[in-house]
Each structure stands twice: as structure tokens, then as C-alpha cells.
């Protein structure tokens, strides 16, 4: 009887050991699978974040390029339309006035309808302003140029929206770096694009 009891005990112990080993093995597999799923999810999020940051960076660059690239042509065009240096000062400032007027409104639109809606609206306004600016001579002269400058300013009021998107979407460990890149693109749009504008304007100055 003791012998049979010993055999049963050994068998039970072995079965328990096998079950425990199998359970541990299953747990490890589940853990590995979970880690793999998390890693894949992080990779997908990283790809989406990189793509969205490219778009946000492009919007920021174009926004300040609208002021920078057109700046070299502003004075020759103002002169051609009969404007003075005082008018030039007003034309430069009215761009910033337009941006100031719409910046907080764009923030409210982004809060209510999300960032995409705010960026689409500002992009459409910016495009309209650029078309108006390009056809100023044919549409009414100096007053139209003032309206075009104001409209361009309104269309570039999305800078706060782009920054808030970065703060919201970027992980904390790269958030400051992303914001720094965004600021660099902003400065590049304003400070570097006048070189391109000058290259186009210089040959056209006699005709302007």
C-alpha cells in the first residue's frame, strides 16, 4: 500500500510539474507576443508621427515663406502701383496684423474641430491671398495689395496650431527636439526664402 501511495504521489507530482512548466511556457509565449505587439504598435505610431511631422513642418515653412519670398518684390511692386516708402511700411506691418488677428481664432478652431480643420482653413486663405497678390496689378492697384498682404497674414496664423499639434502628439522624450525643428523651419522660411525671391525679382525689376 505504501508502495502504491508513493507511485501515485510521484505521478501526481510529475503531472503538477508538467502542468506548471506548460503554464510557465504559455505565459512566456504570451509575454513575448505582447511585447511584439507593443513593439509593432510603437513602430506604426512612429511612422505616422514622422509623416505628420513632415506635413506640419511643411505648413510652418510655407507659412513664413509667404512673407519671406515675397518681401524682395514688395517695394518694386509698391512703387509701380504709386506707393511711397510710408506705404511700404504699412504693407509690411499689415501682414503681421493679419496674423495677430487670426492666431487665437485658429486655436479655438483647432480645439473644437481638431488641427486638420484649422490647417485646411489657413491653407485655403493663404492660397487665396497668394493669388490676390500675384494679380494685384490687374485687380485694382495698391488697395488690392494691402488686402493681399492682410490675407496672407490671415493665412499664416496657424503657427500656434502647428506647435500645439507637436506638443500633443510627440512623445515627451522628443517633444523639445520636435519643437526646435519646427522653430528652425519657421526661421528658414522667413530668413532664407528672400534669397529665392531676390533671384526671381532682380531680373524682373525693370519690368516692374
pLDDT at 40: 45
Give 28-85 pLDDT, tens digit per residue: 555 554 555 544 444 455 555 677 888 888 888 888 888 888 888 888 889 888 889 9
Cα separation, 159 vs 182, in Å, equals 9
pLDDT at 164: 87
Lowest mean pLDDT among 36-50, 110-124, 148-162: 36-50
pTM: 0.71
Cα separation, 133 vs 26, in Å, equals 68
The dihedrals phi and psi of 89, each to the nearest 5 degrees, come to: -60, -45
Instruction: Identify the sign of the CA torsion 162, 184, 150, 134.
Output: negative
Amino acid at each position: 500500500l505504501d508502495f502504491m501511495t508513493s507511485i501515485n504521489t510521484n505521478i501526481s507530482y510529475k503531472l503538477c510539474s508538467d502542468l506548471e512548466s506548460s503554464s510557465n511556457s504559455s505565459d512566456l509565449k504570451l509575454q513575448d507576443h505582447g511585447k511584439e505587439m507593443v513593439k509593432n504598435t510603437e513602430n506604426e505610431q512612429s511612422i505616422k508621427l514622422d509623416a505628420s511631422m513632415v506635413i506640419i513642418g511643411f505648413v510652418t515653412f510655407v507659412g513664413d515663406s509667404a512673407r519671406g519670398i515675397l518681401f524682395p518684390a514688395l517695394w518694386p511692386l509698391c512703387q509701380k502701383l504709386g506707393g511711397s516708402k510710408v506705404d511700404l511700411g504699412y504693407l509690411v506691418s499689415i501682414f503681421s496684423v493679419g496674423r495677430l488677428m487670426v492666431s487665437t481664432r485658429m486655436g479655438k478652431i483647432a480645439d473644437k474641430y481638431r488641427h486638420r480643420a484649422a490647417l485646411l482653413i489657413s491653407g485655403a486663405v493663404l492660397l487665396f491671398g497668394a493669388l490676390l497678390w500675384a494679380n494685384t496689378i490687374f485687380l485694382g492697384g495698391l488697395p488690392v495689395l494691402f488686402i493681399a498682404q492682410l490675407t496672407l497674414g490671415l493665412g499664416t496664423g496657424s503657427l500656434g496650431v502647428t506647435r500645439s499639434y507637436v506638443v500633443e502628439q510627440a512623445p515627451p522624450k522628443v517633444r523639445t527636439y520636435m519643437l526646435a525643428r519646427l522653430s528652425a523651419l519657421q526661421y528658414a522660411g522667413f530668413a532664407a526664402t528672400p534669397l529665392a525671391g531676390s533671384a526671381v525679382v532682380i531680373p524682373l525689376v525693370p519690368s516692374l
